Structure 1
Amino acid sequence: MIIMDYQIQLSTLLKIIPMVIVGFIVYFIIKTLIQRRFKIKVLITIFEYCFILSIITILKITGIISGNFGATSIFAGNVNFSFSLFEEGLSRATVLNLILFIPFGFLAALAVKKLREKWFYGILIGLIFSIVIEFLQSFTGRYVQIDDVMMNTIGSFIGYGISCFILVLVDKTNIKHGKKD
């Protein structure tokens, strides 16, 4: 069953690549205009692209992209909120929420240098993105759960932690071999 979920997610990923390329070009143009210089660091650019890819993939999988938005569901009272924790136990969907956000947190720390300054940023970025997704899902008629916010945030922080750990190892290796940034 989980393998089938991964196949669906891989299929979704392949379908959104053109959208990601357009999004990345827009991001890169805006970044260049803000910084007022055209400078490309290949590795950072790859991380930024992958981070945008993870964001758009999550938005697609959660139904935000190509979702059926409408405020009528909210005004008609058709929004389903659940504020109880693990009402269904540790379900497959709960675990998939955790797994879905690990690459997001991992790539966030690699793509955005400012996020590496404090560990709290690793939690905050996952929390904010997850809350935005759950809020937007209320307009698509999907089920909004506090469990999702919690698992998404934990997944993001796990990815963030792995990324920071790898960066520390790389820094130690560079110092040991006399290399600088």
Structure 2
Amino acid sequence: MLESYLQVAEVMFMQVRLKAFIIFCVYTCAKFLVKRKCEFKPFKMLCEFGWILTVLLILKITGITTGDFGTTSVFDGNVQISFNISIENFSIATLLNLILFIPFGFFSAGVLKKLRSKWIYGILIGLIFSLTVEFLQTFIGRFVELEDVLMNTMGAFIGYEIMVLVIKLKDRMKMGALKVE
């Protein structure tokens, strides 16, 4: 079962990578036109591309970019929302929700410098994006679960914390290199 989920994710990754690259190029050109200077910061550029790729992949996997949007399910009262949170029903899908948002939190902290100042921002960025995804799923007839929001938020926070640690280590190594010279 896990293997089939991973195969589907791999296919979706292959489908969105070119779109992500095109969006990244347009974003980079727009940034250049606004700032009027060319800054080549490989780490930041990698994070920007990774963030765009991750957002597109999440939107594809959750059906947002491929779904058939309509308001009939919302206005007819056919929206299915589950507020159940159960550790007993912990499944592979629940684990994949957590894993899916780790790169989102990781790259968000790399792209948005202001997020790194307080840990609550790591939770908020994941919560806001997860709620947005779950809200949009109501318009394509998908099942909305509170458990998904919690797992997505937790995954984003884990990724956020990992990036904060990576940046701290990078800064320490840079400071260590400066002291040696």
State the Cα deviation string for residues 94-140 of structure 1 (Å, max 9, x = none). Answer: 11100000111111111222211111111111000000000000000
> Residue 161 in 1 paired to residue 157 in 2?
no
Correspondence 1:11-26 to 2 at 5 A: 11-26=11-26
Deviations 1:146-181 (A, max 9, x none): 1111100000000111111111112112212217xx
Query: 1: distance between equivalents of 2:67 and 2:88?
Result: 25
TM-score (norm 1): 0.91
Distance, in Å, in 1 between the alignment partners of 2:110 and 2:28 is: 16
Distance 2:51 2:134 in 1: 20
**How many corresponding residue pairs?**
179
Structure richer in helix, relative to its length: 2
Instruction: Report how far residue 19 of structure 1 moved.
Output: 1.6
Instruction: Give the whole-Å Cα distance in 2 for the aligned partners of 1:88 and 1:67.
Output: 30
Task: Confirm whether residue 143 of structure 1 aligns to residue 173 of structure 2.
Answer: no
Corresponding position: 1:127 with 2:151? no
Q: What is aligned with 2:40?
A: 40
Identity of counterpart residues, as a percentage?
Answer: 47
Aligned match of 2:103: 103
Aligned structure 1 segments of 4 or more residues deviating by more than 2 angstroms: 25-40
Structure 2 unpaired stretches of 5+: none
TM-score (norm 2): 0.91
Change (3 A) 1:88 1:168: same
Gaps of 5+ in 1: none
User: d(CA) in 2 for partners of 1:99 and 1:17?
Assistant: 19
Amino acid paired to 2:67: G
CA distance in 1 between counterparts of 2:162 and 2:125 reads: 15
Offset of residue 4 of structure 1: 1.8
Between 1:57-66 and 1:110-119, the stretch displaced more is: 110-119
